[in-house]
Each structure stands twice: as structure tokens, then as C-alpha cells.
Chain A
Amino acid sequence: MSESEEELVESIAEATVEALRVAETRLPEDVMESLERAREEESNERARMILDAILENVRIAREKEVPMCQDTGLITVIAEVGRRFPVRLAETIQKGIKRGVQRATEEIPLRPNVVHPITRENTGDNTGRRAPVIRFVPTKGEELRLHFMPKGFGSENSSAVTRLLPTEGLSGIWDFVLDTVKRAGGMPCPPIVLGVGVGGTIEEAAFLAKLALFRPLNVRNPDPALADLEERLLDAVNELGIGPMGLGGDTTALAVNIEMAYTHTAGLPVAVNIQCWANRRATAIIYPDGFYEIVQDDYPRGEVE
């Protein structure tokens, strides 16, 4: 490794540790607001008690700088590589992120969650082959933006992908989302957030569902028809009455975020990625000179508009 490459790897590693520290110990402002509003509006007493416990938990985590949830997750990173970071640096970026995740596991600390899929052997440092999950997406910007999402598997295990018939259309999508939420029940620690990916291929739909979860809860899809669908689906999900932790109540979901891609005339892939109330996100913005900052209100657009 050249000296300048080593410097860049090191600054990406540092930025990774700091972004993970923020993500694991503090909820983004939009999530806090949404949880607080839900607490105000909740009519079920038990549900209110659980929402109070969650809010108190978040307060303690922030104050004591400890992870808000013991499942510190499998880490997904969406890397937006700006114009001044040529893609040939992908390997450098990967190296920096892995080093950062290993260090964060020691320092924050994080629970070592990453295992071989079949032998189940734990690597002990939250990295492994293709772990953390890193997706490179194009961007209009200049800098490198690393969007981190350490995500627990209570919610990931409740997620689902399907391929509907083209004729099933909107009502097929609607039913699939509601069925997925019903089947999940209390497992993903409601109140949940739903990322829905519609169209593309099977893996594109799944990626879009994850991408949707990176978007703040108070930002609707720029397409008015999709924004409207997001709001109507949210109401329908909350009508189910699953409530916090699946013990009943008005608050089942905080938001539904949908992302869409054109697809083949013969198909309609749909994915629902469920996120728990511990909607942990943070972005490291890294400048070409190695300077970085951590924010919690930025998100990947996933395309060059």
C-alpha cells in the first residue's frame, strides 16, 4: 500500500468507527420525533408504557454512550463515491470500512454477530467474506459518503421478497405488505418502519427496500403517487393494531418508505424490508483530504438524477 493510500484507509477507518458510534448510541432526530409523537397519540396504556421504556432506553444509551440495543446488527454500508473519489478506490474504501468495523467492535464495543452462514463459526470482529455489506452507488457529489445502517436480525428475519403477477398490480403489493407485517407480529420490535422496493429484478427490489430504509421518516417519495401510497399504507398497517412489541396498540409502524424501479413486462418483483424502532443510521462524509464529518440526516438517493 502506498503511503497516501494508507492514509486514506486510516481516515475511512476512523470515520467508520465514529459513524458507528453515533448510529449505535443515538437515534436520528426524525426517528425521535416520530417516536415522541406516537407516544403522545397512543391510546393503549400498555403500549404507552412500552413507548416510554423505549424513549427512556434511548435517553440512557445517549447519555452513557452505550449501544441502544444489544443486537448491534449486521452492518450495511451504502457508499456514494463522489466525482473526486474514482471508483478504482473501491478496494481502498472497503479496506478502510473493514478496519473501522473491527476497531468499532472493540471500542464501542459491538456484539460480534458475524458468522459463517453454514458452519456458524463467529469471526469475532463483525467482518467476514462480503461482510459488512457494502454497496457502491453513483452520486452527483464530490465527496465520499458512507451511509451506515447497523441492523438487527429480529427485523431482518421478518422481511420478505416475492414476485407478483403483473396483473396483481397495486392490490397485490398492498396485500403483500400487510401480510408481511401481520406475519412479523411482535418479532421485529414494533413500532417498525417499512422499506418497500417495487420493480426491477428480484435483487433490485430487495436493494430498493433497504435503500428506502435509509431515507428519514419525515421525507416522502418525490413521486406524488408513491408518496400518497406511502401514507395510505402506513394508515392501513396501523389499523392492524399489532402495537408496540406486538402486544396491541395504535402504533405499529412509524413510516412506510417506498422506492421504485421499472421492471420487465412479464413481472412485478416486490420486497418488504422491516426495520425496528431502533432505526440506526449515520453518514460519514469524507473529503478527499481525509477530513470527515458525521451526520444523521443525510441519505443515499441511489441514482444520479
Chain B
Amino acid sequence: MSPSEHRLTVPVRDPDRLLELKVGDVVYLNGTLITARDKAHQRMFDEGREPPVDLDRAAIFHAGPVVRKRDGDYELVVVGPTTSTRMAKYLEDVLEAGVRVIVGKGGMGPEAPKLMKGRAVYLTAPGGCAALLSERVERIRDVCWRDLGVPEAMWILEVREFGPLIVTVDAHGNELSWKETG
């Protein structure tokens, strides 16, 4: 059986759409994707700083891009997922902040299916496939907290048909992992 394919606009306008996604399904994202790694999470949730972008219904991407500066503007070279488990301890905070879609690799930790149920989905991007995924990034719209360094800053990306992403934790409390399938 082929997995079903979905196209999802982010930020998520209609939260009910999330319920259509089931573990194992393939998703392509259209809209805005915000990168956030260790330091951005630390600053928002340990230091309690206001997020520099609106996270309501947002999609965040555990990733640090390679960029090039050209005529004062940042140009994306490539971007791909980093290991999400490092950010797992902030999951409750992230969901509280309104995030509905998390993109990364390696899973969101053992609590994820319970915490994300009815609220959000976790999508696995093919790890290391930065050249492929970058073809689907139209441009860098903005960058926040540049002082955290290139990988750790929050990059606001405009994406089109961004994928293939695999639903790994759905909003029904299920998780896809090799332990069950293998």
C-alpha cells in the first residue's frame, strides 16, 4: 500500500487538517518555516525571552542552514534537519507557544505522542538531504537572533512543496518507529 500524500499550508490555518495526517503519511509543506535549534529554545524557554516571531500555529524546523552573504542579504546555500531529541525537553513549552508542526529528524522523545495528541504533528525530514530540501526553499524572508551564530539563529524561510516529510508523530497519539515496524 502506498502511503497517502498531503499538502499542508503553514502556519496551519485549520487545525482540523492536522487530524488528517496519520503516521507513515508523506507531507509537503507550503508557507513559512521557522528554524530553531538548541540556543533559540534555551533563550525562549529557559531565559524566558519573548519569541522574536509569532509562533501561533507555526511550523518550526530543527535546522541550521549554510548561508552566504551577498550584497548585505543572506542567500541560502543549503538547509536540512538536525537531531530533534536535543529539543525534546522543550516540547511542552513549544506547544504552549502555539507551534503545530515540528520538522526534524530522529524523533521528539518518548513523551511526544502523549504531549502532541490533539495539538501538533512531528514530521521527519530525510536526514542530511540538504541539497534536495533547499530546492524547495524559495527564499530567506528574515533572520532573528543573528547573534546566536549562523546555525543557531532563527531563520524565517518561505517554502514550496517542502518535502518529502514523513509523519512520525501524529495528532492521534501514534508514533512511527523502527521498533514497531522492524
Contact = CB atoms under 8 A, between A and B. Distances in A.
B26 A54 contact: no
A66 B128 contact: no
Interface stretch (B7-15, B45-53, B61-69, B113-121): B61-69
A241 B178 CA distance: 7
B134 interface: yes
Contacts of A112: 149-151
Contact of A70 (B2, B39, B80, B124): B80
A37 B89 CA distance: 38
B182 A242 contact: yes
Interface string B1-33: 011000000000000000000001010000000
Contact of A53 (B39, B132, B151): B132
A58 B126 CA distance: 12
Given A46-B166, A53-B132, A71-B82, 10 more contacts: A57-B126, A61-B130, A66-B134, A67-B130, A70-B79, A185-B177, A189-B127, A245-B166, A246-B178, A247-B168
A68 interface: yes
Contacts of A278: 128
B66 A110 contact: yes
A212 B14 CA distance: 51
Interface in A135-193: 152, 154, 157, 185-187, 189
Nearest to B133: A57
Contacts of A69: 78, 80, 128-130
26 contacts: A44-B181, A45-B3, A46-B166, A54-B126, A57-B130, A57-B132, A60-B131, A61-B78, A66-B66, A66-B131, A67-B78, A67-B130, A69-B78, A70-B64, A71-B128, A109-B77, A154-B82, A186-B127, A187-B106, A243-B178, A245-B166, A246-B106, A247-B168, A248-B178, A249-B178, A277-B128
Contacts of B127: 154, 186, 189, 245, 276
Nearest to A123: B149
B64 A49 contact: no
A122 interface: yes
B68 A109 contact: yes
A246 B175 CA distance: 12
B104 to A, nearest CB: 10
Contacts of B164: 49, 53
